[in-house]
Amino acid sequence: MLPFARRPLSIPEGNLLGIHLFQCPDKVGIVAKLSECIASRGGNMRRVDVFVPDDKPFYYSRSEFTYNPKLWPRDVLHDDFLRLSNHFNAQRSIVRVPDLDPKYKISILASKQAFNAGVKLIGATSHFVTPELDAGPIIEQMVERVSHRDTLQSFVVKSENLEKQCLAEAIKSYCELRVLPYEQNKTVVF
């Protein structure tokens, strides 16, 4: 469960919701230029999440904006964001709704082994698949408490439910363009 509920965006009739992911060296003015780019075409910035690591001057962001496709056609929109990307030497600039790509898997302790070991917390991890088993960048992790009152059957049911919830949240984050690669084997999840 999320610690807070997200209020759905109200989008004016005839407008569309755009999502922009951006990754570039950090410098002054990125948010201002992004806002200017969207506003200059009649769009409206609705949400912006920004992450700049303390130890590395690199900028990561995810923006949601509304726009009218009659005033800002798709080809012009992409050209505008391409200019913005070139201006900031962006390593990544995506403006699209992604195709669902099943590059996920779940990794959890084998339920029977965990049950027999008397664990008190069970966990699930969703991450990108890599050639090395269970080594991909993590997207989502969840834990649930178990106790001596659990039977093997209830333990397995809790584990399977946790797997499904974790995978669903990871896929949701990916589909909403909330996941960016960060460093060699990490992710930024907005």
pLDDT digits (tens, 9 = 90+) for 55-109: 999 999 989 888 888 898 888 888 898 899 999 998 877 774 222 223 222 223 3
The average confidence (pLDDT) of the chain is 80
Catalytic residue positions, numbered: 134
**Is pTM, for the whole model, over 0.75?**
no
CA dist 188 and 92 (Å) reads 13
Q: If you search the block for the tokens 């407008």, which residue do you land on?
A: 15
All structural domains of the chain, each given as residue ranges with its CATH number in brackets, are 16-95 (3.30.70.260), 104-189 (3.40.50.170)
Q: Give the percent of the chain with pLDDT over 70.
A: 83
Closest CA to 176 of 4, 8, 1, 3: 8
* 10-residue stretch averages of pLDDT, the chain, 190 residues long: 48 79 92 95 92 92 88 87 91 53 33 81 81 78 90 82 88 90 87
